[in-house]
Structure 1
Amino acid sequence: MAFGRKPEVEIIKEDLKVWECSSEECNCWVRDNFKSSGEEPTCPICSSEMVSTTKNLQVIQNHASAK
């Protein structure tokens, strides 16, 4: 028996839209549903343009953007 063991939670992954920094020196990216408002965001680290792409990531809900 394993008394202190937590049940394993299934991790759900999906192809999600993300924004990646276009700078070669920067590896910053941000999920689309976590970006600041606006059409095309700028990189929060180096202020370069960001380009839209997809990544297979764990699904996380952003409850702050649902308002």
Structure 2
Amino acid sequence: MEIPIFYGKRANDDKIETIMMDTEVYSCSSDNCNGWMRKDFATADLHCPICGHETVKEIRALPKI
């Protein structure tokens, strides 16, 4: 009796490509915090969601969502 063998590797053509885009973000101004948020998901008051400090506008290369 032969046992079928299946391999879980995808062909190279099926690789999912990550598209990077320049994205506007708001980054925490505190030196002790790494918090940031995309402009599309920013809070109305533009304070850091982690520590509450003010944020500054930046451009980062992030994956497209």
Please classify the TM superposition score into its range, dividing by the shorter chain length. Answer: 0.7 to 0.9
* Runs (5+) with no aligned partner, structure 1: 61-67
1:33: Cα distance to partner?
Answer: 1.1
Q: Percent of aligned pairs with the same residue?
A: 37
TM-score by length of 2: 0.76
Q: Which one has the largest radius of gyration?
A: 2
Q: Is 2:26 the partner of 1:19?
A: yes
1:41, 1:5 → 2: CA distance?
44
More moved, 45-54 vs 4-13:
4-13
Match of 1:45 in 2: 50
Secondary structure of the 1:33 match is: helix
2:38, 2:9 → 1: CA distance?
32
Summarize the alignment of residues 28-43 of structure 1 with structure 2, pairs less than 5 Å apart: 28-36=35-43, 38=44, 40-43=45-48
* Runs (5+) with no aligned partner, structure 2: 1-5
2:41, 2:20 → 1: CA distance?
17
TM-score by length of 1: 0.74
Following TM superposition, the consecutive aligned residue runs of length 4 or more in structure 1 with deviations greater than 4 angstroms are none
Q: How many residues align?
A: 57
